Chains A and B, each alone.
Chain A
Amino acid sequence: DQQVKQNSPSLSVQEGRISILNCDYTNSMFDYFLWYKKYPAEGPTFLISISSIKDKNEDGRFTVFLNKSAKHLSLHIVPSQPGDSAVYFCAASGGATQGGSEKLVFGKGTKLTVNP
């Protein structure tokens, strides 16, 4: 049973336009959400996160929105650049409710391609 779902395996956008990557979750105990970016042959790198007490977090060109009632979050990249082409993973954590181990549950990822 997938607790974190990224229903779009791939997304293609033009350079300069907005990229919107979506993520849904089923476990209402999740209280912290993260996005990781992964280039081929490299490990994932942390991009941005959001706590469940917020509905928006912004960092430069990257903004994450959280809709708790819909159990949905999205990552917006504006403007998109060719260097943003990578696989993006959504991840969720129950924090203290998971015994303080800070385990992450990952989605399957969305491959973003930004065309010049």
Chain B
Amino acid sequence: NAGVTQTPKFRVLKTGQSMTLLCAQDMNHEYMYWYRQDPGMGLRLIHYSVGEGTTAKGEVPDGYNVSRLKKQNFLLGLESAAPSQTSVYFCASSYAGQGYNEQFFGPGTRLTVL
């Protein structure tokens, strides 16, 4: 049981390049999330999904797109990377059920945009 995994772990991009970050979970969770963490800013929600085929905007969605074609995968895309998108990106997932359920986080992807 790997939990939440993220690919890649590190990436360096040039301004204007595109890339896709992959998140996979093997816990059969309905909900998945993408966050970014910047120094002194905590974790900010980019996009999230409440089930296969659904996506919704979070707090800081601009410049990113997401897709949830399979329940276990949640992809985060940067179409034209900008230096402001240099950050550590975390994916998380949670079970959908009665009451609140904790979110489980992946190990993160450190992205640098030059």
Contact = CB atoms under 8 A, between A and B. Distances in A.
Interface of A: 6, 9, 32, 34, 36, 41-46, 49, 51, 89, 91, 93, 95, 100-104, 106-109
A95 B96 CA distance: 11
A46 B90 CA distance: 14
Given A42-B108, A43-B108, A44-B43, A104 B31 contact: no
Given A42-B107, A49-B100, A100 B50 contact: yes
B48 A95 contact: no
Given A101-B48, A102-B31, A108 B90 contact: no
Interface string B5-42: 00000000000000000000000000101010000111
A103 B94 contact: no
B39 to A, nearest CB: 10
Interface residues of B, number: 28
Interface of B: 4, 31, 33, 35, 40-45, 48, 50, 56, 58, 90, 92, 94, 96, 99-108
A38 B39 CA distance: 13
B45 A43 contact: no
A43 B48 contact: no
Given A42-B108, A103-B48, A106-B42, 16 more contacts: A9-B40, A34-B102, A44-B90, A45-B105, A46-B102, A46-B104, A91-B43, A95-B99, A95-B100, A100-B50, A102-B101, A103-B33, A103-B58, A104-B43, A106-B43, A107-B42
Contacts of B108: 41-43
Nearest to B58: A103
A33 to B, nearest CB: 10
Nearest to B95: A102
Contact of B45 (A6, A44, A103): A103
Q: Determine which residue in B31, B35, B101, B103 has the highest number of CB atoms from chain A within 10 A of its CB, and name it.
A: B103
B52 to A, nearest CB: 15
A103 B103 CA distance: 9
A46 B42 contact: no
Contact of B56 (A45, A101, A104): A101
